[in-house]
Amino acid sequence: MQAPRNIHAAMMVLGTMATISLVDNLVIEMSRSHGLWQFHVMRSCFAIPALIIMAMVMKQSLRPKRPVKLMLRCSAMAAGLMIYFSALGVLPVAQAGAGLFSAPIWVLVLSAVLFRYRITIWQVVAILGGFAGVVLLLQLDLGNLTVLSLLPLVAGLSYGLGALLTRYWCADESPMVLAIGVFAALGLMAAVPLYWMTAWPVTDAPGFLTWGWMPLTEFFLWIAIVQSVAAVIGMPLLAQAYRIGTPAYVAVFEYSFLVFAGLWALMLWGQGVGIQGWIGIAAITASGLVMSLLQKRDA
């Protein structure tokens, strides 16, 4: 029966989202002493060998089938994640995550623009509802918008493009190759500014985005390792959840990330998202549910 399998899959997703949202909240504390670029370089150094070992144990291929398309796909997803982690230095996790969870909206929009996918009226309603939820959760002041205000949405656009390219360009690549590609892209993207910030340090108000190489501390290494472990374990768990469960059903539970992120931020740092934020989370989740159900119907 599918119902028990769906429940099992939902528990996997809920556990993964609770864990990832917790370790992402810890990045906020790390950002007080170490920079974004060093974090990503170290995180990739820990994650890539672990993924290679896991691929060998699971006997998955590590040879990419379309290297150029894989590189473009992984670069798009890495850019979205880089912007998301950049936002963690100044925003609560739930607000930064709102941008990434606008990705399903961007997938539909980009599908229509790039691949001539026909969007129905109900999908348009879901898109508008999702955008409204993101605006509420980000607490955007529409009268004083800046480029920085929209960065989380840019993260969702980039991540959504990567997800779309996964489907159209990289569907036959192994999951481990896809994961290693993203971590490699993140590490390479971070290496250049890390070298620059280290060679020519910023002395005027240095911070999370401008620090170069800083002395390694136990806390920093612990955060980098925990982040790597969460990603390496979380990825196959999510893949397994989608394998045993109904995708449209399982996808909705990924939005629990926003709920867990808000609860962790409240418990750890006393940062609440407020009534407006929770309404935004509800709107984003409802939008994702509608789009998942419509996708299932159209499949």
Residues 154-180: tens digit of each pLDDT: 898 998 888 888 878 888 888 888 889
Number of domains in the chain: 1
- The domain in which residue 85 lies consists of 2-298
Q: Which residues contact 139 (CB under 8 A, 6 or more apart)?
A: 95, 274, 276, 277
Greater pLDDT, 57 or 235: 57
- Looking at residue 140, what is its pLDDT? 64
| Mean pLDDT score, 64-69 | 92
Give the number of other CB atoms < 10 A from CB of residue 59.
6
pLDDT score of 117 more than 80: no
Greater pLDDT, 273 or 215: 215
Greater pLDDT, 274 or 1: 274
Per-residue pLDDT band for 112 (boundaries 50, 70, 90) equals: confident
Q: Which residues contact 231 (CB under 8 A, 6 or more apart)?
A: 20, 43, 47, 179, 183
pLDDT score of 206 more than 80: no
User: Residue 267 is which amino acid?
Assistant: M
- Looking at residue 248, what is its pLDDT? 58
- What φ, ψ does residue 155 adopt, rounded to 5°? -60, -45
From the number of C-beta atoms within 10 Å of its C-beta (0-12, 13-18, 19+), residue 133 rates as buried
Q: What is the 3-state secondary structure (H, E, C) of 176-203?
A: HHHHHHHHHHHHHHHHHHHHHHHHCCCC
The conformation of residue 116, written as its DSSP 8-state character, comes to -
Per-residue pLDDT band for 219 (boundaries 50, 70, 90) equals: very high
- CA-based nearest residue to 159, from 97, 233, 216: 97
State how far the Cα of 238 lies from the Cα of 5, in Å rounded to an integer: 14
| Mean pLDDT score, 269-275 | 80
DSSP codes, 213-273: -----HHHHHHHHHHHHHHHHHHHHHHHHHHHS-HHHHHHHTTHHHHHHHHHHHHHH----
pTM: 0.86
Per-residue pLDDT band for 274 (boundaries 50, 70, 90) equals: confident
| Mean pLDDT score, 73-88 | 91
| Mean pLDDT score, 41-51 | 94
> Does residue 206 contact residue 21 with C-beta atoms inside 8 Å?
no
| Mean pLDDT score, 255-276 | 85
pLDDT score of 20 more than 80: yes
Between 38-52, 214-228, 252-266, the lowest mean confidence (pLDDT) is in: 252-266
- Looking at residue 106, what is its pLDDT? 83
> Does residue 160 contact residue 107 with C-beta atoms inside 8 Å?
yes
State how far the Cα of 77 lies from the Cα of 73, in Å rounded to an integer: 6
From the number of C-beta atoms within 10 Å of its C-beta (0-12, 13-18, 19+), residue 199 rates as exposed
pLDDT score of 295 more than 70: no
